[in-house]
Structure 1
């Protein structure tokens, strides 16, 4: 039994990855005493900050700039000026150009490791942040009007308590499990290989999405003259593809992508992820809320995952600010506050989940009957229209009730 009194905080964030760290920064102006629980040791970045290429929507860049994160990036992001979507075996393509919408770019591609280092630099400047690391959540329970979490920190058991505990601990969220919240999971039938790819023709600001029966392949234009690669492989082929040496893997990609990018020259270390969708059946519990991948993990096709999770974090920060004005620190975990958060996030969450899942299911579904419909859809998206504008607005992060930090000075609100 742990007889030591719990350590008190105004708010506990479980998970120090992309969304958890961003939430801590968004809460900084409120002057709260924040605890951040992280599985990574001091001086190490969480595993999510690897060589993956992250696609930041315009709204995300606006918010991260306001939080001082983009300024802390040591490496520039690669601009996404155009998006080209094709489907193997289908006629037509969809081409989206930022200049059609009065933009120089739709967003930027940032290497996850670079982003992690920028977040770390900003977190180190926070004066009211206590970091527990490396630490692992063991259990959670209610203690009157407070929620307690029990952690294993390097073999020592410690207990934290706060009016609100936020779960930002990823797809396999330990807090979600401890809260008894079930999640619906769907396997798309393919694995995803992520790497850095060097080609004969350097990126020119165009992002490519190539859909096939066996999964999507995406090329994201980085600023270091490489592409960020996401390559979908059918589950029954994934082990064999993982075993390929670099030359054989490049030959496979060349046959899939053709010669639009010239000869494929080199591929960095490959990471493998499951093509999976995991959606929590609810995102709140007494004095607790789930955000980011703990609430919803979606397929990377369309590059919406982190962008959606960041909007979770920013909206929650706004509702906490309102709660502080209404009733002080004790009010931030009230059920009415958390329900307001759920209500504000419902449209963006619903539309983004539907877009991601629908695009993938239709895009990779085999069968000749779908080909004419897909070709027609690609052709219709290849020209300026209300449908293209709706798609572009959502891709740039303007869906539903948009958090204030995401909005630019020109008054863009939603799409």
Structure 2
């Protein structure tokens, strides 16, 4: 293709995963010509849509319902009605109950694979969307009042141009690297084994976070009578633990979790993920913005990663809607990027701090930490301003909350 004649769009999204696809859907009412770049061939699911259990906050459920994704789920999400947090070897636990806050649930647990199918079904109905797949991002550059994106496809090189390009291509973001934006990386010293777990007592809507020296173990209540398991294992042990047969792995979990769920009966295939924090030094560049894991990848403790990334996408959609009356060129103008970045500061900072501090305190060793943690758990076990603050953040209501997360649709009024 002639490099001097790129294919023009109003906006290009690099990355067709959870956040990138959700952003495309959020832009649909604006009538824009949107390009979605995806490395996965048509008819296949990106690797992120696996057997992992995703915990959607109430704000996320609100938004995905408004975007038409939740109604397309093949299976209903599992409601999270209660959350129990405890620490191995410490006294006390924190129990959070949605009914204390006038809710029936804090959010829902959805299998990533099911979510991927629902997103794909919804994207198939979207107007104004051009999908480039399978294509691999190669590079990006500024060309006057547009940004160019170079892709490598099965038929050769393709070049796109748009007033705004969005990097939603994950933790190892090629877009972030092409923009020259660095990132701070922190390895937490453990890995996460993720699987589907069947127990003698079926889930009753309670999610569990069990903190240990080696990392957290979480049980998320799915709707199929299974739990979604996230098991933290110290880096030095993870190869050995991953190689355990099912019986030995269940015995390990039983010793960690105890018998409140009855006997642990079966465990599906295990997937392994690194436990690390990767935070971009900036989220914007000329005619470009980073969202989701490309902007910040956080530990799944507290289940805030996708929820935070979705709020990135929805905030950007609102700013695009506000700028659109000024013309298509305004979509990537400095003023829009500055407003977007300013709106995301508080939510991003507070969510990153919450995830990191909870993990560090939970893993901290030492005789002094145990009574302090026990006191903290006991204080959180009763309704208070501190518990209310924690619950509000867990449900996705931190900082400047996008309208769709509140159950309102400001895009159609812009």
Q: Does the pair score TM above 0.5?
A: yes
- List runs of 5+ in structure 2 lacking aligned partners: 409-414
C-alpha separation in 1, matches of 2:282 and 2:360: 24
- CA distance in 2 between counterparts of 1:315 and 1:337 reads 11
* Unpaired stretches in structure 1, ≥5 consecutive residues: 410-415
Shift of 1:3: 3.7
Query: Could you say which residue in structure 2 is the equivalent of 1:109?
Result: 109
Aligned position for 1:167? 167
Equivalent-residue separation in structure 1 for 2:102 and 2:360 (angstroms): 31
SS of 1:390's equivalent in the other structure is: helix
> For residue 121 of structure 1, what is the aligned residue in structure 2?
121
Alignment match, 1:404:
403
Quick one: distance in 2 between partners of 1:351 and 1:364? 20
Q: What is the 5 A alignment of 1:13-412?
A: 13-154=13-154, 156-325=156-325, 327-408=326-407
Shift of 1:4: 5.4
Cα contact 2:63–2:407 (8 A) shared by 1 = no
Measured in 1, the distance between the counterparts of 2:96 and 2:163 equals 45
TM-score for the superposition, normalised by structure 1 = 0.97
Correspondence for 1:412: none
Computed over aligned residues only, the root mean square deviation of the Cα atoms, in angstroms, reads 0.9
Once the 2 structures are TM-superposed, how far is the Cα of residue 2 of structure 1 from its aligned partner? 5.0
Name the SS of the counterpart of 1:368 in structure 2.
coil
Partners of 2:3 and 2:20 lie apart in 1 by: 29
> Alignment partner of 1:19: what SS?
helix
Contact kept, 8 Å, 2:200 with 2:265, in 1: the verdict is yes
Whole-angstrom distance in 2 between the partners of 1:267 and 1:155? 42
1:58-80 residue CA offsets vs partner (Å, 9 max, x unmatched): 00000000001001111000000
Contact 1:2 1:157 in 2 (8 A): no
Q: Distance in 2 between matches of 1:4 and 1:46?
A: 31
- The alpha-carbon deviation at position 126 of structure 1 amounts to 1.1
Q: CA deviation at 1:154?
A: 1.5
When the two structures are aligned, how many residues end up with a matched partner?
408
Instruction: State the match for 1:413 in structure 2.
Output: none
Per-residue deviation, 1:387 = 0.1
Deviations 1:349-373 (A, max 9, x none): 0000000000001111111111111
Matched residues in 2 for 1:23 and 1:164: separation? 13
- Residues 3 and 159 of structure 2 are in contact (CA less than 8 Å); yes or no, is this contact kept in structure 1? no
- Which secondary structure does the structure 1 equivalent of 2:355 belong to? helix
Q: Distance in 2 between matches of 1:94 and 1:197?
A: 23
Consecutive aligned runs of 4 or more in structure 1 exceeding 6 Å deviation: none
Partner deviation per Cα, 1:70-92 (whole Å, 9 max, x = no partner): 01111000000000000011110
Quickly say closer, same or farther: Cα 1:45–1:231, change in 2 above 3 A: same
Whole-Å separation in 2 of the counterparts to 1:24 and 1:289: 14
User: Hey, what's the Cα distance between the residues in 2 that align with 1:240 and 1:208?
Assistant: 25
TM-score, normalization by structure 2: 0.98
* CA shift for structure 1 position 408: 3.5
1:6 matches 2:6: yes
Verify the 8 A CA contact 2:314 2:402 in the aligned structure 1. yes
